[in-house]
Amino acid sequence: MRDNRNNDKEPLGTLTTKPTFALQYLPGSAAAGCFGGKVGLHLLSKEPVALASPIFYYILPRFASFDGFDPRTQVLGRPKVAVLSGFDTHGRHVVRLDYRGNCEPLVPQEQTINLVRFRHLADAGVDTDVLTICVATPTPITGSGQPRQPYRLAAMAPETTWLGEAVITVHPKETIAVETKARQSISSQGQSAS
């Protein structure tokens, strides 16, 4: 993405390119009470990027909770990890990875980092919500795409840069079991009619 704004540091007409991140979502089950998937950030730049004192926020859907980090991928450095919930987060779990007071993490080019696992709450009904990742850092960076609900994001994570989001859907386990049995029944009826 190109930034054409004059920020008094560059002459008019000068174009600067900010490193761009994309959210990477690897879905799990849509069933309530099950592993819902994992989500992380993928640096699209061909060069590594050093981030100054970043604080990453993973805003989980209202029906999901933090389930740790994926052990097969890299968590940059040693962030202070906190799971926030309650009124300030509009009832959502927010996973905060805070690198302040730590070394500046160097994000490797074209790799996915800080892959967070999440689990659907056991009592979740049929629902769809957005999972969002944003960051607070003085380093100029950007996300790919546009937020679906920018006003909600501004209320939940002011002073941050949006990096990406994914639409997540959950269904009660009973609904999925009934749908699976119905498909199997239809499939076996089709085979016996042949």
Residue 180 has pLDDT above 70, yes or no: no
Q: Mean pLDDT across the chain, nearest whole number?
A: 80
Residue 160 has pLDDT above 50, yes or no: yes
**Average pLDDT over every residue of 47-52:** 90
What is the pLDDT confidence band of residue 18, given thresholds at 50, 70 and 90?
confident
Residue 102 has pLDDT above 70, yes or no: yes
- Output 175 or 86, whichever has higher pLDDT: 86
pLDDT at 75: 86
**Average pLDDT over every residue of 31-58:** 92
**Average pLDDT over every residue of 95-101:** 92
Complete DSSP assignment for the chain? -EE----SSS-TT--EE--EEEEEEEE---BTTSEEEEEEEEE--SS-EE-SS-EEEEE--TTEEEEEE-TTSBPPS-PEEEEE-SGGGTT--EEEEE-TTSPPPEEPTT-EEEEEEEEE-TT--SEEEEEEEEEE-SS--EESS--S-HHHHHHHSTT-EEEEEEEEEEB-HHHHHHHHHHHHHHHHHHHHH-
Residue 185 has pLDDT above 60, yes or no: no
**Average pLDDT over every residue of 179-193:** 54
- Output 129 or 181, whichever has higher pLDDT: 129
pLDDT at 178: 47
Classify residue 189 as left (phi > 0), alpha (psi -120 to 50) or beta: alpha
Judge whether 118 and 30 are in contact, CB under 8 Å: no
pLDDT tens track for 65-84: 999 999 888 788 889 999 98
